[in-house]
Structure 1
Amino acid sequence: MSVTAQTVWNSCLEFIKDNIQPQAYKTWFEPIVAVKLSDNALSIQVPSKFFYEWLEEHYVKILKVSLTKELGEKAKLVYIIKMENTYGNKQPFTEKIPSSNRSSVKSQEVDIPLNNKSPELRNPFVIPGIRNVKIESQLNPNYSFENFLEGDSNRLARSAGLAVASKPGGTSFNPLLIFGGVGLGKTHLAHAIGVDIKDKYPEKTVLYISAEKFTQQYIDSVKKNNRNDFIHFYQIIDVLIIDDVQFLSGKTGTQDVFFHIFNHLHQNGKQVILTSDKAPVDMQDIEQRLLSRFKWGLSAELQTPDFETRVSILKNKLYRDGVDMPDDIIEYVAKNIKSNVRELEGAIISLIAQSSFNKKEITIDLARIIVEKFVKNTKREVSIDYIQKVVSDYFQMDIDTLQSKTRKRHIVQARQLAMFFAKKFTKASLASIGSQIGKRDHATVLHACKTVDNLSSTDKQFKKYVEDIAKKLSV
C-alpha cells in the first residue's frame, strides 16, 4: 500500500486515540485534515491559530511520538492554518507554520520558530570594536504595530513609537519612555518598535532586554572582573530597548553603569527606548541624574483602553485566531472587563476554550459565566500607594497622618502594617518601601515587619487587623 499523507495521519490518529480522553480527541484531533506528505514532513490543516497554539501547548509530545513512529527520527510536522478574511478581502488565505517541535531532537531544522523562547543573549560580552559578531535582537515578531490597535488611551505612545521606528535616533523622542499599569501593552509596543526598525534598517543592531536581566548581567560582569567589556558591549548597540526600567530602583551600581551607557548612546545618535510602570516623576530610588535623562525625550503614557478600543482589540484578536463570534458577545466582554488588555484577551481565550471543550455554542449566558469567574479570579494589581490607602481607610486616618513622624501608638502600628503588606504584596526593595511610606530607611521597614510578625502571634486584636487588611488586599 502506498504511503500517503492520509494513511500516515490515520495511523497517528489510532495511536493518539488510544492515549487521550475521547472528548479531547473529538475536540482537538477530529477537525484536523491531512494535506501533504513531502519526504519526512507531514502537513496538516487546522481551523485556527488558537487551535494550533493549543495543540503545541498540550499535545506536542504525543504528536512527536506518533509521527516518529510512522516516519522515523527525522519526522517533521507543518501546520496549515486556514482562515476566512472577514475584513473585506473575499479570498481565504493560508499560513504555514512548522511545528516548534520543542521536544524534537531535530529542532534545529525548524527555521521559523513561532515564539522567541530564548531571552538569553548568545554572547553578552562582545570584544570591543568587533562589529561583525551577530547580536540576537531578542525581539518577539508576534508583537507588531499591526496588532497594537490605536485608541485614545495609547495614541500618543503609538504615534511616537512609529516616529522612532521610522527614524531611530533622529527624532526628539530620545529616549522614548513608555509608562503605564500592568497589561496595557508597554512590552508589546516596545517590541513593535524594535521589530519595525529591524524591518526598515536590517543593518542596525537592535537589542531588547529586561532591566532585571540587565542588572543580572552587570552583577555577573563585576564578579568576573569584566565590567568594561559589559559597558563596551552595550555601547555598540544602535537601538537599546530596556523593559521595566523601574526595576533599577535602589540598585546604585547598575544605575551608575546604565548612566554611562545611556550617555554614550545618546551622544552618538543611538536610540534608547524604556518602559516603566510609572512616570519618571513618580519613580523612587532612581538617581536624579538618571531621572533627568529620562525626561530629555518623551514620556508617553498608556492608559486603560476605552470601550471602543476594547471592542477593536477583541475583534482583532478573534480575526487573527480565525474565530467568529457574534458582536453582542464581544461587546458584553468588552463592557465588563475594563482593567487591561491582557485580562481582556485572557477572557476571550477562556470563552473559546470552554466552548470548544464542552461543545457549547458561544452565547451571552456562557460569556456571563466566564466573565464572572474571570473577574472574580483576577487579582487586583497591588501597589504601595494602594496598600497605604487601604490601611489608612481601615484605621480611618488620612495618608499624610500615616506617613507622619508622630510616635502615637495606633499611627505607628498602622504605618508598620503598611510596610509589612508592601513587603508581602510587592517586589519593591526595603529601601523603596521605606522611602514611599514616610521617607523611612530600610532598617525601619525590617523592624516593622518583625514587629507585625511578633504582635500577630501575641495580640489577638492586632492579629485581626492583619487578617482584615489581608482580605481587603486580596479581593
Structure 2
Amino acid sequence: MADDMLDPAIAANHIWSDALAFLRSDRRANLTERDKGWLEGIMPETAFGSTIVLCAENTTTMEMLQSKLSKPLLQALWIANGKPITPAFKIVSDEEFSRLKAFREETLESKPHTPSTPPDTLSSVPNETPMQSMASMPSMPAMQPVQPMMPMMPMQDFQQVQNVQNVQNGAAFAPATAPQVQNQQPEQLTFASALEEEEPEESPLSSVYKDSAYSSKSYVTRHLPSPMQGELPIAAAGPMPEQARPRPMGANNSQIPNMDPVTHLNKSATFDTFIRGESNKFAYTVSLAVAEGTGRAEFNPLFIYGHSGLGKTHLLNAIGNYAIECAQEAGEELSVRYVTSEEFTNEFIESLQSGTKNSSLTSEFNKRYRSVDILLIDDIQFLSGKEQTLDQFFYTFNSLQQAGKNIVITSDVVPKNLKGFEDRLISRFEQGLTVDVQPPDLETRIAILQSISAGNYMKVPDEVLSIIAERFTSNIRELEGALRRVTARANLSHMPVTPELAELALQDLRTSEVEVTPAQIINQVATYFHLTFDDIMGKARQRNVVLARQIAMYLTNELTSKSLKEIGREFNKDHSTVIHARDVISTRMADKQEIFKYVNELTARIKQEADA
C-alpha cells in the first residue's frame, strides 16, 4: 500500500484513521455507541511490518480492546491495512497521549490520505477471517510495557523483551512463536446502529442560565472499570401471544407534549386526565372554577405550590384548555398564554437585545403578555435574582390585574418563601388565593398508575400496580418511571407482567434516604460511556455523546426530585431538550436491550455510590 513508504508513525495514523472510519460507520462491526466510546482512548504510535503499536490512556481502555472489541478491531485493521496486521498495546501518560493526539491531528491535516474502501460484504475479505489467520501470520512481537492483543490467550505465551528504546524501527522486538487462537464469536447486541433520534437544538439561553450549579472546570471524572456487556437475568420464556405482550410506553402515542403553537398549552393536559384525590382535591376545585370563569375576585391571582412532579403544570394547562373550550361554546374569543419562567426570561432578554435596532420588538413583547385574558406562568421561583425580568413581570402583573384579567402561578414554595423576590411582588401574590398540592395517597397513586397504563395500552395486573404504588410515594414522576421499568423488562424478555418480574425490575430503584445529585449522575454516566464530565455538559453532537447525555438527563429526571426546568439548567439546556431526552430513552428502553441494560446498570452504580 502507499502508506508503506511513509514514516512509520504517519503510516500508523493513516491505518488507524481508516480502521476508525470502518468501526464507527459500518454496521458489520456490530458496535454499540458505548463500544465506540472506548476507541477515543486510543492513539496510534507506529507501524512496522505486520504490527501497529496502539497507546491506551488507561488500563480499562486497553483491557476492553483486548477482550470484547478484539475481533472487530482486528477485522477493521486488516481492512484498513489491506493485509494482516496485529495491534500491540501500551499504556501512556496523559502528557504522552496528548502529544500523540496533537501529532495525529497535524498528520491528518498536513498529509492527506485516501481512505481504504471497505469491501461491500465481509465475504469479499479472504475466506480466512483476521482472527483465523493469526496463526499463519508473521509472529507478533511483544514488549514491556507494550501488550499484544490476542483474545483468550494467556500473556505468558509471549516472549518479554526488556529493551524498548528502538520501538520506532522494531529493533527491540524478538521473534516469538505465534500461539494458537481459538475461534471466538463476538457477543451479539441488538443495538448495532446508533440512536437515530438526537436531541433537538434548543433555543439560545441567556447568560443568566449559563452558570450551571456544577462547574465542569472544577469537576474531575473518576475512571472506574466499566462492566462488560451481559445478558439480562431474565431468560426468554418463548414467544408470548401478541395480545398478552405489554406494549412499550410511548410506542403508539407521542410522549412529547401536544403543544398549541399560539397558546403554548399542552392540549393533552386536561381536567379529564387529571387524577383527583385528597391530596389535590381543593387545588383541582379552585382551578376548575377559575377556568369556568366562576371564580371570585379573591381567586386572582391563583397561586399553586408544591414539590416537583405532583401535577401543578397539568393543572395550569387544564385551566387554559378548559377556559378556551368554555369560551368557544359561548361563542366568545379568549386569549390565553402559558409560559414558563425560563421562556418569559428568554423572550424578555431577546426583546431588549433586539430592541436597540427595532424598538417595536419590545412593544410586541409587552403586547403579547399584557393583552391576554388569562396568563399562566409556571415555576415562578426561577425568576429569583433576575432583577430586570422581575421588574418586567411586576409591570405585566399590574397591567393584567388592573384590567381584570386572570393570572395563575405555580411554584415549589409558598409566596413568602420565594427567594430574591421584592416584597411588592410577594404581597401581590398573597392578595389572591394560595393552594397547595400534596404527594398523592396510596389510592390516588394506584389510580394514577391505572390511568398511565390505560393511556399507553398496557395491561398491568392490579397486584403489580400496588407494589409500585406502595414503594414509590413521593411524586407522579417516580410512579411513571417505575412502571416504565417494569413494562420495558417484560417487553424485552417476552414475559407477562408479574409481581416477580416487577420485584426484579425495581430492585435497583429502591428509595434511598440520601439525595442523589445531578453531578453524581453525570459523573457516573461519563465514566460508564468512557467520556468526560465536559463531554456530557458540552454541545458535542457525536452520537455516543448524545446518547450518554440523553441517558444522564433521563436518570436525573428519574432519580432526583428536580423539575424539568431545573434539570435543563443543570445541563445548560432548556426543558424541551430534557423532555425529548426523557421520551427518547423511555421509548428505546422498551425495545432496545442495550439501552435497558445501560439504564439499569447505571442506576445500580448511582444508588451504590449514594448509599456508600
TM-score normalised by the chain length of structure 2: 0.42
**Residue aligning to 1:293:** 428
Gaps of 5+ in 1: 1-19, 33-45, 57-99, 101-113, 123-135, 384-425, 429-469
| 2:271 paired with 1:145 | yes
| 2:205 paired with 1:205 | no
Which whole-Å CA distance do the structure 2 matches of 1:142 and 1:338 have between them?
25
Which whole-Å CA distance do the structure 2 matches of 1:175 and 1:330 have between them?
37
Structure possessing the higher radius of gyration over alpha carbons: 2
Which whole-Å CA distance do the structure 2 matches of 1:162 and 1:177 have between them?
14
**Residue aligning to 1:178:** 304
Kindly state the Cα deviation for residue 473 of structure 1 after the two structures are TM-superposed: 7.1
| 2:282 paired with 1:156 | yes
Which whole-Å CA distance do the structure 2 matches of 1:268 and 1:160 have between them?
21
Paired residue for 2:251, among 40, 54, 59? 54
| 2:371 paired with 1:236 | yes
Which whole-Å CA distance do the structure 2 matches of 1:27 and 1:257 have between them?
61
**Residue aligning to 1:220:** 350
Residues 284/164 of structure 1: CA separation in 2 closer, same or farther (3 Å cut): same
Kindly state the Cα deviation for residue 272 of structure 1 after the two structures are TM-superposed: 0.6
**Residue aligning to 1:187:** 313
Residues 331/47 of structure 1: CA separation in 2 closer, same or farther (3 Å cut): closer
Which whole-Å CA distance do the structure 1 matches of 2:319 and 2:511 have between them?
34
Residues 369/212 of structure 1: CA separation in 2 closer, same or farther (3 Å cut): same
Residues 179/52 of structure 1: CA separation in 2 closer, same or farther (3 Å cut): closer
**Residue aligning to 1:314:** 449
Which whole-Å CA distance do the structure 2 matches of 1:209 and 1:297 have between them?
20
Residues 117/325 of structure 1: CA separation in 2 closer, same or farther (3 Å cut): closer
- Whichever residue aligns with residue 222 of structure 1, its letter is L
State the SS of the aligned residue for 1:275: strand
Q: RMSD over aligned Cα, in angstroms?
A: 3.7
Kindly state the Cα deviation for residue 324 of structure 1 after the two structures are TM-superposed: 2.2
Residues 289/339 of structure 1: CA separation in 2 closer, same or farther (3 Å cut): same
Residues 259/471 of structure 1: CA separation in 2 closer, same or farther (3 Å cut): farther
Identity of counterpart residues, as a percentage? 34
Kindly state the Cα deviation for residue 51 of structure 1 after the two structures are TM-superposed: 4.6
Paired residue for 1:374, among 493, 497, 509? 509
State the SS of the aligned residue for 2:372: coil
Kindly state the Cα deviation for residue 181 of structure 1 after the two structures are TM-superposed: 0.7
Q: Indicate conservation of the 8 Å contact 1:169/1:269, yes or no.
A: no
1:21-420 matched pairs, under 5 angstroms: 31=242, 51=248, 53-54=250-251, 115-116=256-257, 136-167=262-293, 171-202=297-328, 203-225=333-355, 226-375=361-510, 380=515
Where has structure 1 moved over 6 Å in runs of 4 or more?
A: 20-24, 470-475
State the SS of the aligned residue for 1:153: coil
- Whichever residue aligns with residue 262 of structure 1, its letter is F
Kindly state the Cα deviation for residue 228 of structure 1 after the two structures are TM-superposed: 3.2
- Whichever residue aligns with residue 277 of structure 2, its letter is G
- Whichever residue aligns with residue 432 of structure 2, its letter is G
- Whichever residue aligns with residue 424 of structure 2, its letter is R
Which whole-Å CA distance do the structure 1 matches of 2:478 and 2:446 have between them?
13
Residues 122-164 of structure 1 show CA distances to partners (whole Å, capped at 9, x for unaligned) of 7xxxxxxxxxxxxx01111111111211111111111111111
Which whole-Å CA distance do the structure 1 matches of 2:370 and 2:516 have between them?
36
Residues 382/281 of structure 1: CA separation in 2 closer, same or farther (3 Å cut): farther
State the SS of the aligned residue for 1:189: helix
Kindly state the Cα deviation for residue 223 of structure 1 after the two structures are TM-superposed: 1.2
**Residue aligning to 2:146:** none
Q: Indicate conservation of the 8 Å contact 1:116/1:138, yes or no.
A: no
Kindly state the Cα deviation for residue 171 of structure 1 after the two structures are TM-superposed: 4.3
Residues 397-421 of structure 1 show CA distances to partners (whole Å, capped at 9, x for unaligned) of xxxxxxxxxxxxxxxxxxxxxxxxx
State the SS of the aligned residue for 1:224: helix
State the SS of the aligned residue for 1:325: coil
Kindly state the Cα deviation for residue 321 of structure 1 after the two structures are TM-superposed: 2.3
- Whichever residue aligns with residue 250 of structure 2, its letter is E
Which whole-Å CA distance do the structure 2 matches of 1:210 and 1:296 have between them?
22
Kindly state the Cα deviation for residue 372 of structure 1 after the two structures are TM-superposed: 2.6
Residues 292/367 of structure 1: CA separation in 2 closer, same or farther (3 Å cut): same
- Number of paired residues? 287
1:418-457 matched pairs, under 5 angstroms: none
- Whichever residue aligns with residue 416 of structure 2, its letter is V
Residues 382/156 of structure 1: CA separation in 2 closer, same or farther (3 Å cut): farther
Residues 340/52 of structure 1: CA separation in 2 closer, same or farther (3 Å cut): closer
Residues 388-445 of structure 1 show CA distances to partners (whole Å, capped at 9, x for unaligned) of xxxxxxxxxxxxxxxxxxxxxxxxxxxxxxxxxxxxxx969xxxxxxxxxxxxxxxxx
Kindly state the Cα deviation for residue 168 of structure 1 after the two structures are TM-superposed: 6.8
Residues 280/471 of structure 1: CA separation in 2 closer, same or farther (3 Å cut): farther
